Amino acid sequence: MTRSEAGDAAARLAAVRARIAGAAAAAGRETASVQLVAVSKLQPEARIAGALEAGQRLFGENRVQEAEGRWPAFRERYPDIALRLVGRLQTNKVRAAVQLFDTIETLDRPRLAAALVREFERTGRLLPCFVQVNTGEEPQKGGVTPAALGSFLDKCRTEYGLDVAGLMCIPPAGDLPGPHFAFLREAARRHGLAGLSMGMSVDFETAIRFGATHVRIGTAVFGARG
């Protein structure tokens, strides 16, 4: 990693953290109530190394296979790294995902819930999960529909005994994000969930205003994907 790459990573992280602090203050919240998840999907390893050198420890990955290829080595140097899976999880990747990640953010169907439970029982490793809600009901996107959320949460808690820590959403690209974030906040409140994973590079300040506890930021932290 070059000195320039490390400096760029530090500068971008500082800028994003300042924006998070400003958005939290404007919403009457403590900065510490919002966690920055640096989404490293398709990013060069040098940029990730720069973010680590600058103190970032919480990261999100979209693909299990991509994460498997680089995070074990990083964890040897930085054992306090925490990884969140923020992309759709196929059931045939559950074993690898449970071994590698610390939180699963995209729980969205009974078959996946059952596969996770089997792997948790096999390994004794119980990961917190967020339920992904398809707030825009987009057919090409994963997530539970708003109408099905209540029954799915009940099943996850009572039938599967999963540790559901919160809700996650990705608003449709053409929509104003505020109504989607407002819906997720109210759904979390109604179901007694503290975690709200919402907001990305283009809208994380809005998400913080609506109560986000985790913002998933890639481009603003790392620059355009290489």
Instruction: Encode pLDDT of 34-80 as tens digits.
Output: 999 999 998 888 889 999 999 999 999 999 999 999 999 999 999 99
What is the rounded CA–CA span in Å between residue 143 and residue 106? 7
Tell me what the mean pLDDT of segment 125-135 comes to.
Answer: 97
Contact 144, 133 (CB under 8 A): yes
Give this prediction's pTM: 0.95
What is the rounded CA–CA span in Å between residue 181 and residue 199? 8
What is the rounded CA–CA span in Å between residue 169 and residue 219? 18
pLDDT in the model for residue 10:
83
Contact 180, 135 (CB under 8 A): yes
Residue 24 or 9, more confident: 24
Q: Please, which residues have CB within 8 angstroms of residue 118's CB and are 6 or more apart in sequence?
A: 94
pLDDT in the model for residue 3:
56
Relative to beta strand 214-217, strand 35-39 is parallel
224: pLDDT strictly greater than 70: yes
Residue 31 backbone class (left: φ over 0; alpha: ψ -120 to 50; beta: rest): alpha
pLDDT tens digit string along 148-175? 999 999 999 999 999 999 999 999 999 9
226: pLDDT strictly greater than 70: no
C-alpha distance from residue 77 to each of 6, 57, 71, 80, 121 (Å): 16, 12, 10, 9, 29
Tell me what the mean pLDDT of segment 104-117 comes to.
Answer: 98
Percent of the chain with pLDDT over 90: 90
6: pLDDT strictly greater than 70: no
pLDDT tens digit string along 92-108? 999 999 999 999 999 99
